[in-house]
Chain A
Amino acid sequence: MIYLDNSATTMLKPVGVAEAVANAINESGSYARGAYTSAIWAGRTLHEARKEIAKLFNLGDNQTVAFCANATTALNTAILGAIEPGSHVITSVLEHNAVLRPLYRMQQTAGISIDFLPADDIGNIHVEDAKRLLRRDTKALVLTHASNVTGNSVDIAAFGKFAKKNELLFIVDAAQSAGSIPIDFNNMNADILCFTGHKYLMGPQGTGGLCMKKSTRIDPLIYGGTGIDSFSHDQPINYPDRLEAGTQNIHSIAGLLFALKFINETGLENIIARKMALFTQLYMGLQTIDNITIYGDIYQKERTSTLSINVGDMDSSTVSDILSTEYDICTRSGAHCAPKMHEALGTEKQGAVRLSISYFNTERNIEETINALSAIAF
């Protein structure tokens, strides 16, 4: 099997992640529920994971990490919990439904209004458009760091400066960029950065979180036990504890911790270089094939190792199914939960075949994929 759906989830994890999960099942009690050995083990594991995230994303003083189930939960927490009801929000057509649907929900229930930054022909958005959309009542900017369809990155530094200058709450969706593009949370002028653990951080599913300034006010999405202040009717006031109700998924976080150590020890720059070498091999192979359309800004200095294509006017699901059944190559077809991106690219009917590369793919994987698509396109 050749697995090229890493933007959905990385299947090949660093050797040791699965063992770390198994070990945690045997060792871990419940975080914050006691001072006995296994509960302390859980707490230390969570604390170590916070430290590794802080190292990877360059968190500064008075910034912290709240863990939750995935990027979707983190984005729902940030959007529903921090955006002011009745305000105007700027977002973009690049966004995933994990951003769009909570915003639409707030449009219906909290009276927010939304404007979308348009994308150009190769799927990029521009800060000049944000300046044009800015209103007196604009209070928040919500942007992905990288499109899950094209792999294009967004100039977060430029948008961060724009957000800071205009005193906007800036929420960044790093679901695709975490582990694929360097993240400097302390200097990007973002208030909240949402990530998942199971994509390019290469940890288990069921892990994710949000990085935040401790001074940012976020109402919890989930209310419940925290192991502290049991007689209080409210969640603890301090972050991250305020956002971490319920039993934490220490088993999977132990796996994520192992994966984060792998990334920090290997060096993110080395991981990116490896993935982008394979990405370039794939692009160079496909761009010579007549009848294949490639989407996105391939020559961006920083981007993810995701490439979306179509073969002639073939339904993307047909191409993906042939790749699976005849070549045992795993790709994703359709709309990738990013409807406005497909409208912008003109692919809302056809969808696109997404090929997303991980650190553990090989040159041979890419060569076989190029050959398969060449045969399908012939």
Chain B
Amino acid sequence: MKEELSLVIAFDATSDAFAAEDVFRQNGLSGRLIPLPESISAGCGLAWRAESNLEKELTDALKSIDITSAHIYYLIL
């Protein structure tokens, strides 16, 4: 599989991950839920993987549903 730079959003709660997926889809923002990469945090959980140029749109969407504690990373995945 071709590796590429991706924007990855990690959440403090799984409920936030699904609320985020919902609002991203409502706003037509592409991406998908993935297992939280170990390079972000050892353990488990979900993260949102999207194209690397969508940070503003994604963070605006998160703010609209009061998710302010998401963490944004840029990773080669």
Give the interface size bracket for A toward B.
Answer: 20 to 34
Main secondary structure of the interface of B (DSSP, over half): mixed
Which residues of chain A are within 8 angstroms of B44 by Cβ–Cβ distance?
33, 227-228, 230
A50 interfacial by beta-carbon distance below 8 Å? yes
Which residues of chain B are within 8 angstroms of A230 by Cβ–Cβ distance?
43-44
Which residues of chain B are within 8 angstroms of A231 by Cβ–Cβ distance?
42-43
Give the interface size bracket for B toward A.
Answer: 20 to 34
A152 interfacial by beta-carbon distance below 8 Å? no
| Cα-based distance from A40 to B25 in the complex (angstroms) | 14
**CB within 8 Å of A: which of B23-55?**
32-35, 42-46
B77 interfacial by beta-carbon distance below 8 Å? no
Chain B residue nearest to A44 in the complex (CB): B18
Chain B residue nearest to A64 in the complex (CB): B15
B19 with A32: CB separation less than 8 A: no
Which residues of chain B are within 8 angstroms of A227 by Cβ–Cβ distance?
14, 44-46
Which residues of chain A are within 8 angstroms of B21 by Cβ–Cβ distance?
43-44, 47
B57 interfacial by beta-carbon distance below 8 Å? no
A47 with B33: CB separation less than 8 A: no
B15 with A240: CB separation less than 8 A: yes
Give 1 or 0 for each of A219-246: 1 = CB within 8 Å of chain B CB.
0000000111111100011111100100
Residue among B19, B21, B35, B45 with max Cβ neighbours from chain A (10 Å): B45
* Given the contacts A46-B18, A228-B45, A231-B42, A238 and B12 also touching, CB distance less than 8 Å: yes
| Cα-based distance from A256 to B22 in the complex (angstroms) | 20
28 contacts between A and B (CB under 8 A): A32-B14, A33-B44, A35-B46, A43-B17, A43-B18, A43-B21, A43-B46, A44-B21, A44-B22, A46-B15, A47-B18, A47-B22, A51-B22, A61-B66, A62-B66, A227-B44, A227-B45, A228-B14, A228-B43, A228-B44, A229-B43, A229-B45, A230-B44, A231-B43, A236-B13, A238-B12, A238-B16, A241-B13
